[in-house]
Structure 1
Amino acid sequence: MTELDVPRLQRRLAAFAAARDWEQYHTPKNLAIALNVEAAELAEIFQWLTPEQSAAIMDDPASAHRVADEVADVLAYLLQFCQVVGVDPLAALAAKIDRNEERFPPASPPKQDDCHSSE
């Protein structure tokens, strides 16, 4: 698995957009909408699959390619959005995980069978 170098990817995406004069369209609103559209395209791949079919989707090279392309599109728009609004996506994720760990503590292990304790 490749390590995620967010700043490098954001620079590449910015250079790609700049070379095509697309920065003018990369507003927070437009990027948020594009991100939503790409996430919907990812969901569309799975829309009518059974749970078993969806679990095996990466076994078929053609389907795996479609999934990977949509994941790339979602990530690209998310990274561009974060750059435009000034959010560090990895820091935001770490902070959210921390909050969720506090909000949703792990289930406590079941107590020793209280109903069967000797009296």
Structure 2
Amino acid sequence: MEEEGMEDISLKELAKKLDEFAKARDWQNYHTPRNLLLAMVGEVGEVSEIFQWRGEVEKGLANWEESEKEHLGEELSDVLLYLIRLADICGIDLPHAATKKLLKNAIKYPPNSNPFSS
């Protein structure tokens, strides 16, 4: 896979690439909803380990080494890729579902509302 132009790839394009990746390795039988969910949860745990014991961190991770940011990017990518694959295997149009959920949240939490205030 080439890196050039990849920053503008859609979720649907990523799902297609993930499907091709799995087929090329004969992994389809292992990509069940349960297995993909458990793999994703494991990756979320790896993201959590990166933040463990750091306390709150600044937006933009200004005090982090580039290697730490790169590692975080890799682990976040693993979570995203498993999520996209899980949605695809389950027949969920993730961009559509996410847009629909955002609209529901806009109604539930109108501007000037603060769900974090007591």
Q: Could you tell me the TM-score, scaled by structure 2's length?
A: 0.81
Q: Which residue of 1 aligns with 2:35?
A: 30
Q: Distance in 1 between matches of 2:23 and 2:59?
A: 37
Higher relative CO (Cα under 8 Å, sequence separation at least 6) belongs to 2
Runs of 4 or more off by more than 6 Å in structure 1? none
May I ask how many residue pairs the two structures share in their alignment? 108
Asked whether 1:72 is paired with 2:77, we answer: yes
Deviation (angstroms), 1:14: 1.1
Deviation (angstroms), 1:58: 7.2
**Unaligned stretches of 5+ residues in structure 2:** 1-5, 114-118
What's the secondary structure of 1:51's corresponding residue?
Answer: coil
Please give the root-mean-square deviation of Cα atoms over the aligned residues, in Å.
Answer: 2.1
**Amino-acid identity (%):** 34
Q: Distance in 1 between matches of 2:34 and 2:79?
A: 15
Q: Distance in 1 between matches of 2:107 and 2:23?
A: 42
What's the secondary structure of 1:2's corresponding residue?
Answer: helix
**Unaligned stretches of 5+ residues in structure 1:** 109-119
Asked whether 1:18 is paired with 2:52, we answer: no
Cα contact 1:57–1:64 (8 A) shared by 2: no
Larger Cα-atom Rg = 1
Asked whether 1:49 is paired with 2:54, we answer: yes
Q: Deviations over 1:42-76 (max 9, x none)?
A: 11100110214685267411101110100110111
Q: Deviations over 1:77-105 (max 9, x none)?
A: 01110110011111111111111111111
